[in-house]
Structure 1
Amino acid sequence: MTLFQIIPNYILINGIAIGGTVFVIFLVYRKLSSSFRKRLTAYFLKAACVSLVISLAVLAAVLTLLQLLLHSGMWDFFHELGYGYLIVAEYLQSVLAVAFPVICFVVSFSVRVNRRVRYVEYLSQEIQKIREEGFGRSMELQGDDEITQLCAVINEMSVRLREKEEREKRQQQSKNELITNVSHDLRSPLTSIIGYVELLKETGPEDRQRFDEYMEVIERRLTGLNGLINELFEYTKLNSADRFPDMENRDVLELLRHILYEYKILMEAEGLTLSWQLGAKSHAAYINTQQMVRVFQNLLDNARRYADRSAQVTVTAQETGRLHICITNRLMDAHGIEPDRIFERFYCGDRARSTPQSSGLGLAIVKRIMELHGGEVSASLQGQELSVHLFFK
């Protein structure tokens, strides 16, 4: 007798049931998966259906095995012990046919569902840690279902909120430093002005020479104070801007040449030598002309103020995929200068920005203007020579 002949008809029916179940699973899961809100439901339905398929397959295997045993003569052992052959066979067949599929269904479904339940518990614990320790934690991604997508969203939200917190903290710290530095820079000239006003009261207009000297000092202090307030206003306005209005396509090198000719006369009057070598003939870029003039003027004023009178200020330009302008001057005293920090606002360690003639905002304004133009600015120090590098698109 062949194996096909000993398999009863209900085994074939089970096979048909399994195939039909698989087809139904495919249709239902596909329909539910098309809805974002129902994907989680589809996952658990899939787990149940897969477990059902496994249990039906086990049922078919058990029934097939029982039929093979019934036709192998092994049941004669129970008949010799005195048990009724048909009763024992039917009882064992019923127990095996029910118990094994049920156990397989429960185990399979539990394994698949508990895996996601444990993941949900893990997410719950991680979210609790985020609440206690703050944002920035990253949770492990497992699978590709609704829960995993939720975890990915939480990770992204946690990172962004942490970045926002750090950014707000830096902004608050920056505001505090600004208030402290501005208060210090305003207090110094105001204290000086108040002192000279008191001297004017004591001296009176009778001593005309001293009166004029004190008035001249007060005027200088007020001029410096006005410059500080104007630069502070300008820097605050630049920091709140995302881009410049009135951008125009302009030759940057032509603009620089005009400014260099003006400063050459000013520097020669102060005993300085200004020379330039602009290798590139022209370089067109979209710029705000007024702000770019401010960049060149701030850098050249900085060179005028702190350059060694025995050396010359040099300006070079070259194309290296982008326009590179370099302004170099020998400092009178380069001790303690940190090139990487000279563009920081109110950098007190920088001698080149801590004199009474300097507000401490000029180089910070240069950096911000270059950033709003999509360019870069940096500095390097070799011995006593300070070089400021401008890079344009």
Structure 2
Amino acid sequence: MPIRKLLILSHAAMIVTPIIVIALIMFLLYVVLSGNTALHSGHWWGNAQGENVELFNRLKKTASIEQEKLFDASFVHSISEKLEMEEANLVIRKGNELIYTSDNLKKISNNDVPSFGDEDFRPIPVRVENEHYSVMQYDFYFQDGMEGSIFILENSPSFVTSARVFFPVLFLSLILTLVCTNVLLSYFMSKRILQPVKQLSSAADNISKGDFDFTIRPKGKDELNKLIRTFDNMRLQLKESLELRDKYEHNRRELVANISHDLKTPITSIIGYVEGIQDGVANTAEKQKQYFDTIHSKATYINQLIEELSLLSKLDVNRESFHFEVVNVTAFMDDYLREIEDDLEEKGIQLVFQHMDVESNVFIDRNKMIRVIQNIVYNSVKYIERTPGRITISLTDREEMIEVCISDNGKGVPEEELASIFTRFYRVDPSRSTSGSGLGLAIASQIIQVHGGSIWAENIQTGGLRVYFTLQKVKDDGNE
């Protein structure tokens, strides 16, 4: 239950409970102090039973059959004595005159007992001389036609006496109940609120110490437990962000180390050749041309490395702009491969394009996709050592995707390193540091991810490597 509702109910209980308690106390005070016994039923006073009932029935029979005995003092007195033993008293009335009253009721008058015709099937309460009785009444007619009544008054002070005796205890019990109600409500409400607060405080303390390996579990669905769930999600996100930061920091250090290594070798070569020219070692035109060509090659490699690093850093932070358009994948691939076909032939590599009548459209950035194909193809060229070399590019329709496969007949990649070829600065042969920057396939992987596809590689059993990537097809309505 929401804390807001709990607080409302708690405050309502704290207000309603005192009202109920005060109302009950006032009612009991009214009953006890006013002595208004008319409010009580015979259940308070107890129903007449046992010997009193037998005597009452005997008197009723006497009134019906032998009325003259009601005037016999010895008979009536014997009945009265028996009633007194049962804490009851006898009253006989004729007309408006009480013709007999027990010794305990000498001051009773006709006004103290019920009127003729008020008899009931159960005793009714009356008050005589500030004493309380329950009355059994039997009405009849004397032989001369006058109204008559027989009353048996049982002593019944138990309720009032008990109430007066035990009222202070009852009052204190009610006050104690009121206090306990408020204390318990306050305790449970504070526990309901403070327990989640303690959890959050402990969790915050752990986080301040750099400890993220813990879990706080909510135990309800109220606002504070929702806050606990949100806090735990924040902890997980913060933990992941710190782990990612550490990973990036590790990659940054590795990147700096790799860049330093990749730049140091060509720069050292350039400095060496420049010093050779300055010192006159290159003393012929042919040798000078050789030195200049080498310097140009090393500078070109450095420039290429810088460009690739710049592109990769932009891809990492999603700052490289892409210009997507709908392109026929077969025509696009065919046009680009024709451009590089002659260059590959000069390197002794045959280029084969297999599309099997795939005529689907894809949504791509032309320049970025050319960069992907170029990086994969020329990565294969570097590691093809057999003659003739062969690179095959094929297209396959995979329902919602177009699968592009670029395979070669080079030496392949060790099986345990296949998953690493799309990692930055990875080289099959690290000693060949000038054969490439080791960034080409990493850049290709990043670009394919932006296109919503996936990229992977596998070895060919007969030798060589296959690199696959997928592109999303454009539906008939022009959407991906």
State the TM-score, normalized to the length of structure 1: 0.75
Preserved contact between residue 280 and residue 318 of structure 1 (Cα < 8 Å): no
The number of residue pairs the alignment matches comes to 349
The alignment partner of 1:390 has SS state of: strand
Q: Where does residue 26 of structure 1 map in the other structure?
A: none
Distance 2:20 2:456 in 1: 72
After superposition, where does 1:120-269 map in structure 2 within 5 Å? 120-135=197-212, 137-204=214-281, 206-242=283-319, 244-269=321-346
1:387 lines up with 2:466 in the alignment:
yes
Change (3 A) 1:120 1:205: closer
Higher helix share: 1
The answer as to 2:244 corresponding to 1:281 is no
Are 2:425 and 1:346 aligned?
yes
**Secondary structure, counterpart of 1:196 in structure 2:** helix
What one-letter code is carried by the residue in structure 1 that aligns with 2:251? S
Farther-moved stretch of structure 1 (225-234 vs 352-361): 352-361
Q: Which residue of 2 aligns with 1:95?
A: 172
Change (3 A) 1:107 1:263: same
Paired letter, 1:369: I
- Cα deviation, residue 136, structure 1: 6.3
1:342 aligned partner, one-letter code:
I
Counterpart-to-counterpart distance in 1, 2:431 and 2:358? 33
Tell me the secondary structure at the aligned position of residue 323 of structure 2. Answer: coil
Describe the shift of the 1:194–1:86 C-alpha distance in structure 2 as closer, same or farther (beyond 3 A): closer
Question: Residue in 2 aligned with 1:357?
Answer: 435
Contact 1:48 1:109 in 2 (8 A): no
CA contact (8 A) 1:136 1:158 kept: no
Distance 1:279 1:51, change over 3 A: farther
Question: Is the CA contact 1:126–1:139 (under 8 Å) kept in the aligned structure 2?
Answer: yes
**1:47 to 1:313, Cα distance in 2 relative to 1, 3 A:** same
Relative to structure 1, the CA distance from residue 390 to residue 157 in structure 2 (aligned partners, 3 Å threshold; closer, same or farther) is same
Which string of whole-angstrom CA distances, capped at 9 and with x for unpartnered residues, describes residues 106-143 of structure 1? Answer: 33442343233233223222222222234564422132
| CA distance in 2 between partners of 1:174 and 1:236 (Å) | 12
- 1:300-379 correspondence to structure 2 within 5 Å: 300-310=377-387, 312-321=390-399, 322-332=401-411, 334-335=413-414, 338-348=417-427, 350-351=428-429, 354-379=432-457
Q: Distance in 1 between matches of 2:373 and 2:273?
A: 35
Alignment deviations for residues 137-169 of structure 1 (CA, whole Å, 9 cap, x no partner): 442213233322332332233233223323333
- Report what 2:8 is aligned to: 45
CA gap of 1:262–1:146, structure 2 versus 1, over 3 A, is same
Structure-2 separation of matches of 1:282 and 1:352: 40
Larger radius of gyration: 2
- Opposite residue 391 of structure 1, the aligned amino acid is T
Q: Aligned residue for 1:113?
A: 190
For the residue of structure 2 that corresponds to 1:374, the secondary structure is: coil
Shift of 1:313: 1.8
What secondary structure, in the 3-state scheme, does the structure 2 residue paired with 1:133 have?
Answer: coil
Q: Which residue of 1 aligns with 2:127?
A: none
Structure 2: runs of 5+ lacking an equivalent: 29-39, 48-86, 88-155, 473-480
Distance 2:421 2:464 in 1: 14
Task: Determine the C-alpha separation between the residues in 2 that align with 1:353 and 1:368.
Answer: 26
Check conservation: 2:196, 2:225, Cα contact below 8 A: no
Q: Distance in 2 between matches of 1:388 and 1:54?
A: 79
CA distance in structure 2 between the partners assigned to 1:191 and 1:213 by the alignment: 17
User: Identity of paired residues, percent?
Assistant: 25
Measure the CA separation in 1 of the matches of 2:240 and 2:199: 24
8 Å CA contact retained: 1:313, 1:328: yes
Deviations 1:239-275 (CA, angstroms, capped at 9, x unpaired)? 3335634321111221111122333333333322222
Q: In 2, distance between residues paired with 1:152 and 1:105?
A: 31
TM-score (normalizing by structure 2)? 0.63
Distance 1:244 1:226 in 2: 21
Distance (Å, rounded) in 2 between the aligned partners of 1:185 and 1:141: 53
Pick the structure with more strand per residue: 2
Q: 1:345 to 1:86 in 2, by over 3 A?
A: closer
Per-residue CA deviations over 1:58-96 (Å, capped at 9, x if unaligned) read: 9999999xx9996569xx9xx99xx96443232343234
For 1:327-374, what per-residue CA distance to the aligned partner results, in whole angstroms no more than 9, with x for missing partners?
1112236347712111111125x3389541212111111112112222
Aligned partners of 1:211 and 1:253: how far apart in 2? 47
For 1:85 and 1:58, locate their aligned partners in 2 and report how far apart those are by CA, in whole Å.
20
Kept in 2, the 8 Å contact 1:298–1:362? The answer is yes
Contact 2:218/2:229 (8 A) holds in 1? yes
Letter of the structure 1 residue corresponding to residue 196 of structure 2: Y
Rounded Cα–Cα distance in structure 2 between residues aligned with 1:332 and 1:381: 9
1:299, distance to aligned residue in structure 2 (A): 1.2
